[in-house]
Structure 1
Amino acid sequence: MINKELKNYIEENILPLYYNLDDAHTIDHARDVIEKSIKLSSFFNNIDENLVYAIAAYHDVGLASGDRKNHHIESEIFVRNDDKLKTFFSDEEINIIAVGCREHRTSSKETPSSVYSCIVSDADGTDPIEIMIERSYHYAHKNYTCEILKNDNKIYEDIYDHLLNKYGKNGYCRYHLKESYTLFNKKEIEDILDNEESFKTIYNEVISIK
């Protein structure tokens, strides 16, 4: 059971921070990671849902610093500097939350130090293919030059290559927990990415409504 005062604090003061982030890291994304993290945590005994909830809620707040490359580190710093959060957790628990934020990135080569880090990392790396495409498309339109944005084929190729390299059968995005393979249908994503024609059909459907 999540502490009501903690939930109220995060709902009122932390989740609204996502309104100021990019279109690939909206408050809907934060809520989705929270929901998936809580569901995944139910597979384990002696898991503190308050810790899971806090890590999931704070995991991307470091993006507000403007340093996307190091946002996981900025999220860790944010947690350690949040004095209000310290009224809900012990120093040891604050460390678990802070490190969980740092270790959430699927591209990280760092081995997660706790099951809490694994839970949020796996939940964060799980989306329907349509959402993956949409988030990648938003990223491209925010970061690409005007000249590149005129080239629809270039954008498509970059997005497909990125998702294939990250979420394909040989991609670097791997679940840390075997339970994640039970809860999240990664094979479906892999099969779509393995068949470019199937991927392209979905891509065109997603982009057509932009």
Structure 2
Amino acid sequence: MINNLPLKLREYIQGRIIPQYVNFDKAHQINHVEKVIDESLKLASHYDVDVSMVYVIAAYHDLGLCEGREFHHIVSGRILLEDETLRHWFTDEQLLQMKEAIEDHRASNKQAPRSVYGKIVAEADRIIDPEVTLRRTVQYGLSHYPEMDKEQQYKRFREHLTNKYEEGGYLKLWIPQSDNAGRLAELRKLIANEDELLEVFNRLYINELEGK
């Protein structure tokens, strides 16, 4: 599907936008944005949407991390809207819709995304793969709370998983065609097994410290 996008747009995104992710924490590197792009395009095939818009929304969705985590979704939307180069391919109305989709992608948002574009990128950003999700959670803790010792890191790790992924957690899934529902059930089963969860944490923690 990506090969059907305008060549100059692809060149711009791949040459100027995606490389910016190298400056972010380990959980939000180039491999993350590429996965979100791939998953967004996959989900887009189920809807009557502008694929170029989906592609760009996914590419820009975490750029706001350059100003910190808390409001990154708002900053990311602003970065997209202020990028004059995008006006070669999109109207003001499209750019505004794309900005809103990015603002709506954050998992902790209490309101549903305002458009199908927001639902697509929000769902794609979930990419619930137990191993990847747990590794990214460890990476985030080590990157943002380096002063914590191993016991404190595990406590943060466990609390984050509980608050986000367990029944009643703030994570919401929006696209029924996504594979995330089954993967979420698998992850919840692992979270409920304290011994197994601790074993996985210990492995990932050591691997990260050793740079594996």
> What is the TM-score with the length of structure 1 in the denominator?
0.90
Greater alpha carbon shift after TM alignment, 67-76 vs 121-130: 121-130
Contact 2:37 2:59 in 1 (8 A): yes
Residue in 2 that maps onto 1:55? 57
Partner of 1:27: 30
AA partner of residue 206 (structure 1): L
Deviation at 1:145, TM superposition (A): 5.2
Greater CA drift, 75-84 or 193-202 = 193-202
Confirm or deny: 8 A CA contact 1:106 1:173 kept in the other structure: yes
Provide structure 1 residue ranges, at least 5 long, that are not aligned to the other structure.
none
Match of 2:136 in 1: 135
User: Could you report, residue by residue, the CA deviation over 1:156-194 in whole angstroms, capped at 9, with x for unpaired residues?
Assistant: 121011012101232110102222257862211122112
In structure 2, the CA distance between the partners of 1:96 and 1:61, relative to structure 1 (3 Å rule), is same
- Over 3 Å counting, the alpha-carbon distance change for 1:54 and 1:184 in structure 2 is farther
In the alignment, structure 1 residue 71 sits paired with structure 2 residue 69: no
1:56-106 deviation digits (Å, cap 9, x = unpaired): 0000001112x3100111011101110001111111111121111111101
Q: Secondary structure at the match of 1:185?
A: helix
CA shift at 1:195, angstroms?
Answer: 2.0
Is the counterpart of residue 15 in structure 1 residue 18 in structure 2? yes
Number of positions where the alignment pairs a residue of Structure 1 with one of Structure 2: 205
Displacement of 1:141 after TM fit? 2.0
Matches within 5 A, 1:179-190: 179-181=177-179, 185-190=183-188
Matched AA of 1:82: D
Q: Structure 1 residues 207 and 182 mapped into 2: Cα distance closer, same or farther (>3 Å)? A: closer
The amino acid of 2:164's aligned partner reads K
Are the structure 2 counterparts of residues 56 and 184 from structure 1 closer, same or farther at C-alpha, using a change threshold of 3 Å? Answer: farther
Matches of 2:121 and 2:10, distance apart in 1: 17
Deviations 1:13-48 (A, max 9, x none): 00011011111210110001111111111222x221
Structure 1 CA distance for aligned equivalents of residues 165 and 175 of structure 2: 16
Q: Which runs of 5 or more structure 2 residues have no equivalent in the other structure?
A: none
